[in-house]
Amino acid sequence: MAALSSGGQIALAFVGGFLAALLVMAVVAFSFLRSSDAYGLGHWKLNAKMPLSTMWMNLGYWTNAKGEPIHDFEEACSTLLRNILDRAGILNQPGGRPQQPPRSLAVLDLGFGCGDQTFELVRLTRPERGWDAFRYVGLTLSRVQIQAARRCVAREQLLAAADNGPDADSFQLFCADAARPGTWDERTRAAVEALADERYAERWLLALDCLYHFKPSRRPVFEYAARRLRANSMAFDLVLNENASFGDKLRMRAVGVMMGCPVDTFLTEKEYLDQLVECGYDRESSTISDISEHVFSGVSGFIDSQERALSQYSVTLGGYKLAGRLFEWFGRSKVVKAVIVVARTREDADLSSS
Ligand SMILES: C[S@@+](CC[C@H](N)C(=O)[O-])C[C@H]1O[C@@H](n2cnc3c(N)ncnc32)[C@H](O)[C@@H]1O
């Protein structure tokens, strides 16, 4: 009898809990339907076209080939990639290089983001541009970004399949700390080391707007690329202006720490070049080109205009607004320079001078 009554109590508590949950759900639904937002502008979420066509995230190069300003984020980000490839001598024109043999390319791409640069590279190294072999390994720290990149690659591959696109084995994406080659698991290491295959006459490390995050420093991966893969390096990076005031340099170090970078991540041009040489790159044929005038004012102006556009839908850019102010300060104070780095291994430099 006692057991029956405790069973009844449990059932009663269960029904009570269920009814309470129903009540809460009803209150939430009621307040949502009565809220002004249901017929405000919140339904932009329903109108946004998914999936987003790109998910680039770099500082961009905000001037086009005709010298006109760029106003579009996707265009600025992909133009930055093209500028890096161009300075590295990889950007063949459509139609290839008349009278020249086809070229073969292996790329180790660090911090590849959500896959946009992966496919941009695939497009730019197609046979009609004079390339007959392409192999690509991408490394990123972010699990959510690798998932987004895999979706992007699968989508693009479907589109490219009809158009004789590259085979799926020619590019591989891994979640790994690119700054610390010693931590790579066996699969990642094997895929990266396969890039050293001599079938790929041109081997490159690519780092598009990520090296200043690398802990403990850029050194281990530069050394690995130069000595183990015999790969040249091309990158977009930030270098400290040796003429900046002591106060600005100090502020810049604090900004770096706030961004989660090592405290000494921002090197002057000379320190950067010395580090490349110590890692196995050739001083004479390596270049660091200042492109600040095409970067900082463009990206900070774009962030302002995007904030204004989004505010019409009551959406705010949040933390990106602070980033915009910082980029504006970088441009105005010239405390750091936005640069394209192209470094050739000593062996490659020897070959090109012989
Ligand atoms: C500014 S985003 C650039 C993304 C991409 N390159 C683009 O242009 O859209 C920096 C990227 O570097 C990646 N990253 C930072 N540190 C890394 C590390 N140690 N290893 C691998 N990826 C890293 C981040 O996950 C992020 O995707």
Q: Quick check: is 301 in a domain?
A: yes
Kindly state whether residues 335 and 286 are assigned to the same domain: yes
Give yes or no: residues 100 and 212 share one domain: yes
Q: Residue 44 Cα, ligand 1 centroid: separation in angstroms? A: 29
| Cα 57 to ligand 1 centroid, rounded to whole Å | 9
CB 92 within 8 A of CB 123: no
* CB of 192 closer than 6 angstroms to any ligand 1 atom: no
Q: Could you give the percent of the chain with pLDDT greater than 70? A: 91
State the pLDDT at residue 285: 94
Residue 275 lies in a domain: yes
| Mean per-residue pLDDT of the chain | 90
* Cβ count near 124 (within 10 Å): 19
Q: Are residues 6 and 146 in the same domain?
A: no
Instruction: Give the burial string for 194-203 (b: 16+ CB within 10 Å, else e).
Output: ebeeeebebb
Cα–Cα nearest to 138, from 119, 110, 180: 110
12 and 116 belong to one structural domain: no
Q: Are residues 110 and 170 in the same domain?
A: yes
- 183 lies in the same domain as 298: yes
Residue with tokens 């508590």: 13
In tens, the pLDDT along 220-240 reads: 999 999 999 999 999 999 999
Residue 21 lies in a domain: yes
Please say if the pLDDT value at position 353 is more than 50.
no
Cβ of 207 closer than 6 Å to ligand 1, yes or no, is no
Q: Give the DSSP H or E segment for 104.
A: strand 103-110
Does residue 168 contact residue 157 with C-beta atoms inside 8 Å?
A: yes
Helix boundaries (H) for the chain:
2-34, 44-47, 73-87, 116-124, 143-161, 186-193, 219-223, 246-258, 269-279, 296-311, 319-333, 346-353
Ligand 1 pocket member 196 (CB < 6 A): no
Tell me what ipTM this predicted complex has: 0.99
Specify whether 19 is located in the same domain as 85: no
Q: Are residues 150 and 294 in the same domain?
A: yes
CA of 170 to the centre of ligand 1 (A): 21
Do residue 260 and residue 120 come from a single domain?
yes
Residue 277 maps to a domain = yes
pLDDT in the model for residue 41: 87
pLDDT in tens, 282-317: 999 999 999 999 999 999 999 999 999 999 999 999
The protein residue with its alpha carbon nearest to ligand 1, atom 24, reads: 111
Q: Which atom of ligand 1 is nearest to the CA of 58?
A: 8
Per-residue pLDDT at 5: 62
pLDDT category of residue 272 using cuts at 50, 70 and 90 = very high
Total count of domains within the chain: 2
Residue 22 in any domain: the answer is yes
Q: Is residue 49 part of a domain?
A: no
pLDDT at 100: 80
Averaged over 240-257, what is the pLDDT? Answer: 95
Same domain, 24 and 129: no
Q: Is the pLDDT of residue 259 over 50?
A: yes
Tokens 């950007």 correspond to: 91
| 99 belongs to a structural domain | yes
Q: Which of 77, 114, 213 to mutate to test the pocket of ligand 1 (most atoms within 8 A of CB)?
A: 213
Tell whether 30 and 77 lie within a shared domain: no
- Residue 21's pLDDT is 83
pLDDT digits (tens, 9 = 90+) for 69-106: 999 999 999 999 999 999 999 987 777 677 788 889 99
Does ligand 1 come within 6 angstroms of the Cβ of 58? Answer: yes
Expressed in angstroms, the distance from the first to the final Cα of the chain is: 100
- Domain-located, residue 300: yes
Q: Which residues span the domain enclosing 200? A: 73-353
Residues 178 and 84 in one domain: yes
CB distance 188 to ligand 1 below 6 Å: no
Tell me, what CATH number does 93's domain have? 3.40.50.150
